[in-house]
């Protein structure tokens, strides 16, 4: 019996014609990925700064040509650049300066904590929202859940960082207020996942797998709630607060 498999495709990102990075990703929701990657990498501060995205598919992958303002492009030129391919499971491949890895982060916005009932509701319905994973049984998902635990938005990818970047990009393009709800991840909660979520303005992460120690220290400094090793029948609160 034939089985459907997930594919990894090189995505070459250029800004104002300058090649910046090549990332391995699932070839869907690429514009969302471009926006999310640009935001979480600090290339732009707002989605609106990206003036256009032109995608070109070829035999060697997909080329994404993004146009950004001169000020943002100047910052990019001054920053450390990625010089190797970003592997599917890597969030920092090719970064030349170790100081670029742990960047100063803002505090997360104030707001009402997510409730345990909402979190458990989201965990109980997550599988039904993972359309691609239902076919291939191996991709990561990143979902945005409202305060009631309803999954409002989800993106999937072979890479966990890519899935989160796609979610962030889709939300920013759609005007989602990431401070109002929580993020649900099918992967482990590593420090770069926390960084991306904080930059997007998220206040809480719920992760299926365990967090790393560094992820928790970064989350605590930013005031982020992290609930992990999350299953339908049990979860562990590592940082922050949730409502009963």
pLDDT number for residue 86: 56
What's the pTM? Answer: 0.92
pLDDT number for residue 84: 46
Mean predicted confidence (pLDDT) in 232-242: 94
Mean predicted confidence (pLDDT) in 17-44: 96
Tell whether the model's pLDDT for residue 238 goes beyond 70. Answer: yes
pLDDT number for residue 104: 87
Percentage of residues in the chain with pLDDT exceeding 70? 90
- The pLDDT tens digits of the residues spanning 173-184 come to 999 999 999 999
Instruction: Tell me how many degrees the CA angle 62-15-81 measures, rounded to the nearest 5.
Output: 100
Contact 168, 200 (CB under 8 A): yes
- The pLDDT tens digits of the residues spanning 121-149 come to 999 999 999 999 999 999 999 999 999 99
At a CB cut-off of 8 Å and minimum separation 6, what does 157 contact?
25, 26, 29, 33, 139, 140, 163, 166
Mean predicted confidence (pLDDT) in 8-24: 95
Strands 151-157 and 85-86: unpaired
pLDDT band at 103 (very low <50, low <70, confident <90, very high): confident
Q: How far is Cα 34 from Cα 53, in angstroms, rounded to an integer?
A: 8
Active site residues: 90
pLDDT number for residue 69: 97
Domains identified in the chain and CATH numbers? 9-100 (3.10.20.10), 116-239 (3.40.140.10)
Mean predicted confidence (pLDDT) in 81-91: 53
Mean predicted confidence (pLDDT) in 217-243: 96
Mean predicted confidence (pLDDT) in 26-43: 96
């Amino acid at each position: 019996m034939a089985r459907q498999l997930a594919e990894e495709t090189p995505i070459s990102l250029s800004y104002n014609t300058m090649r910046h990075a090549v990332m391995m990703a699932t070839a869907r929701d690429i514009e969302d990925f471009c926006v999310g990657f640009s935001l979480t990498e600090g290339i732009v501060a707002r989605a609106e700064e990206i003036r256009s995205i032109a995608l070109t598919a070829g035999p060697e992958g997909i080329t994404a040509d993004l146009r950004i303002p001169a000020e943002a492009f100047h910052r990019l030129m001054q920053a450390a650049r990625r010089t190797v391919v970003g592997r599917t499971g890597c969030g920092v491949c090719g970064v030349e300066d170790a100081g670029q890895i742990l960047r100063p982060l803002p505090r997360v916005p104030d707001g009402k904590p997510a409730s345990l009932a909402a979190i458990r509701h989201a965990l109980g319905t997550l599988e039904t929202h993972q359309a691609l994973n239902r076919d291939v049984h191996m991709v990561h998902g990143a979902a945005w859940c409202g305060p009631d635990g309803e999954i409002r938005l989800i993106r999937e990818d072979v890479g966990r960082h890519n899935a989160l970047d796609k979610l962030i990009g889709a939300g920013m393009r759609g005007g989602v207020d990431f401070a109002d709800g929580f993020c649900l991840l099918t992967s482990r909660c590593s420090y770069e996942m926390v960084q991306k979520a904080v930059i997007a303005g998220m206040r809480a992460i719920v992760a299926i797998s365990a967090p790393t120690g560094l992820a928790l220290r970064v989350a605590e400094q930013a005031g982020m709630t992290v609930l992990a090793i999350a299953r339908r029948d049990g979860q562990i609160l590592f940082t922050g607060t949730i409502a009963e």
